[in-house]
Amino acid sequence: MAETIFTWFLIVLLVLLAIASVKFIVTSCYQVYKKFLVTFGHKRGSLSKSIEV
């Protein structure tokens, strides 16, 4: 019984870690993307406006 609880605890921990990693990667990519938009978006102002809805 204890081994099952420990296994589930490990699984939940791994899932939480995976979610945290994905959130971190998505946030980093989004910040880089926004910097890219700010740098190169002046030529395409209408495009960046339509994306930031």
DSSP-derived secondary structure for 4-47: HHHHHHHHHHHHHHHHHHHHHHHHHHHHHHHHHHHHHTTTTHHH
The pLDDT score that the predictor gives to residue 39 is 83
Q: In the predicted model, is pLDDT for residue 42 greater than 90?
A: no
Kindly report the pTM of this predicted structure: 0.54
Q: In the predicted model, is pLDDT for residue 50 greater than 70?
A: no
- For the segment 6-32, what is each residue's pLDDT rounded down to a tens digit? 999 999 999 999 999 999 999 999 999
The pLDDT score that the predictor gives to residue 30 is 94
Determine which of 4-13, 30-39, 41-50 has the lowest per-residue pLDDT on average. Answer: 41-50
Alpha carbon of 50 to those of 7, 25, 37: distances in Å?
A: 46, 24, 12
**Which residues, including other chains, have CB under 8 Å from residue 41's CB and lie 6 or more apart?**
47, 48
Tell me the CA end-to-end span of the chain in Å, nearest whole number. 50
